[in-house]
């Protein structure tokens, strides 16, 4: 019986929105698993700080600019990664927006802004990286979705629609690309404690309302999500494709 391989030595990974929060944690864990990591985002100073941290741990990382709402930026960033590392094996589509909107209050601007980042930008990152991976005959794409793309959540009409779209894109791309060596999966977290969510989750009443829905009794951590991403990117998940891995402490089991 073979032993599952969770290592990523010799692999080149791209993480979008890598400067903060979940993206930062994913980049760190990918590097610890042995991957060389291209960290992409809009704030070079933040990315360079992350690169320095990965380097101090003995890992390899490299920063480049990416605006997922700009298709030219997407293409240029993926080509820059290929030029720098000579390959692109793993794409983690982490860049995304989150916002609460009552359905009756949603504006066209609200809709377009979120869809441009969470769905349109994600798809064209998949396309740009996917073309490189298909040429190589091997690749792994992990899209960051949400439990809100699996079950409805009040005041999240636009967000839920965008993440539901991510889940379906993941399945379709897996159908089209898996037989050519490119597996495509998604990770769908529950509420995760990050610098961006701390303001809400540090409110006792808000936290209590969230915990009522999570059988595990706690909100998620960045490591909870990053661990799932590393698994799906690793050889241990070779037979996993077209799957949405929900990391929610049981929220969607109800």
CATH number at residue 241: 3.40.50.720
Supply the pLDDT for residue 99. 87
Query: Would residue 6 count as lying in a domain?
Result: no
Query: Would residue 36 count as lying in a domain?
Result: yes
Supply the pLDDT for residue 1. 86
Query: Would residue 1 count as lying in a domain?
Result: no
Query: Would residue 130 count as lying in a domain?
Result: yes
Query: Would residue 134 count as lying in a domain?
Result: yes
Query: Would residue 77 count as lying in a domain?
Result: yes
Active site members: 159
Tens digit of each residue's pLDDT, the chain (254 residues)? 889 999 999 999 999 999 999 999 999 999 999 999 999 999 999 999 999 999 999 999 999 999 999 999 999 999 999 999 999 999 999 999 998 889 999 999 999 999 999 999 999 999 999 999 999 999 999 999 999 999 999 999 999 999 999 999 999 999 999 999 999 999 999 999 999 999 999 999 999 999 999 999 999 999 999 999 999 999 999 999 999 999 999 999 99
Query: What b-and-e string marks burial along 10-48, b requiring 16 or more CB atoms within 10 Å of the CB?
Result: ebbbbbbbbbbbbbbbbbbbbbbbbbbbbbbbeeeebbe
Which 3 state secondary structure label does DSSP give 14? strand
Residues 6+ apart with CB under 8 A from 69: 116, 117, 120, 121
Query: Would residue 205 count as lying in a domain?
Result: no
* Total tally of structural domains belonging to the chain: 1
Query: Would residue 85 count as lying in a domain?
Result: yes
Supply the pLDDT for residue 3. 94
As beta bridge partners, residue 139 has: 182
Q: Residue 23's domain spans which residues? A: 12-193+224-246
Give this prediction's pTM.
0.97
């Amino acid at each position: 019986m073979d032993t599952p391989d969770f290592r990523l030595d010799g692999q080149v990974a791209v993480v979008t929105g890598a400067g903060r929060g979940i993206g930062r944690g994913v980049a760190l864990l990918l590097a610890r698993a042995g991957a060389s990591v291209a960290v992409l985002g809009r704030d070079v100073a933040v990315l360079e700080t992350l690169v320095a941290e990965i380097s101090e741990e003995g890992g390899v990382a490299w920063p480049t600019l990416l605006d997922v709402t700009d298709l030219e930026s997407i293409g240029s960033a993926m080509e820059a990664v290929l030029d720098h590392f000579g390959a692109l094996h793993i794409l983690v589509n982490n860049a995304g927006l989150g916002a609460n909107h009552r359905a009756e209050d949603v504006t066209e601007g609200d809709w377009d802004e979120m869809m441009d980042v969470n769905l349109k930008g994600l798809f064209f990152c998949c396309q740009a990286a996917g073309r490189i991976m298909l040429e190589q005959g091997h690749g792994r794409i992990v899209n960051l979705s949400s439990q809100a793309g699996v079950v409805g959540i009040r005041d999240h009409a636009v967000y839920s629609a965008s993440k539901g779209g991510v889940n379906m894109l993941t399945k379709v791309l897996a159908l089209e690309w898996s037989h050519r060596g490119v597996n495509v999966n998604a990770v769908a977290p529950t509420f995760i404690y990050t610098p961006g969510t701390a303001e809400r989750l540090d409110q006792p009443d808000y936290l209590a309302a969230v915990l009522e829905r999570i059988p595990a009794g706690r909100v998620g951590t960045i490591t909870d999500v990053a661990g799932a991403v590393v698994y799906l990117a690793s050889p241990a998940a070779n037979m996993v494709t077209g799957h949405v891995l929900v990391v929610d402490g049981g929220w969607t089991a109800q």
